[in-house]
Amino acid sequence: MHAVLSIGSNMDDRYALLNTVIEEFKDEIVAQSSIYSTPPWGIEDQDEFLNAVLVVEVEGTPLELLRRGQKLEEAAERVRVRKWGPRTLDVDIVQIIDNGEEILSEDPELTLPHPWAWQRAFVLIPWLEAEPDAVLHGTTIAEHVDNLDPTDIEGVTKI
């Protein structure tokens, strides 16, 4: 499976937490973005995030990949107090392509592709860096970035 993972953290040692994901997938990473500093999305009264995108080639099922990410979040003592609130670690599956076909799922446990990825600069800009030719919903990532509100792009800064 070809999978795009968006990773983020805005609590504790953000770099170390992102590195736990990179370490977990180190032998499966085929592309990786830089780390970006990004403003909070949804709830703005919290610290800035560090975000990155990993493109991985993994064996198994989409749910097995989800469980790997959840185990990393649990190890980081992630607590879901409020939607879009602060978090030690977030590992989101943005897209999965298997045997050349995009996996589509409306399962509430794993919706694919990620339902809001096409609207979020903190996902799209790192993804564009990691995989410039990627397509989401039939549109290139570059076109999705071009369609974002410029104010959403302003705060996304490569570190």
Domain boundaries, the chain: 2-158
> Other C-beta atoms within 10 Å of 4: how many?
26
CATH of domain 2-158: 3.30.70.560
CB 153 within 8 A of CB 125: yes
- pTM (whole model) above 0.95: no
Question: Is 80 a residue whose pLDDT tops 80?
Answer: no
How many alpha carbons lie under 13 Å from residue 136 in its C-beta half-sphere?
A: 25
Q: What confidence tier does 45 reach under pLDDT thresholds 50, 70, 90?
A: low
Q: Does residue 82 surpass a pLDDT of 60?
A: no
CA dihedral 157, 118, 21, 72 (to 10 degrees): 130
Q: What is the pLDDT of residues 97-150, one digit of tens each?
A: 999 999 999 999 999 999 989 989 999 999 999 999 999 999 999 999 999 999
Position 84 pLDDT exceeds 90: no
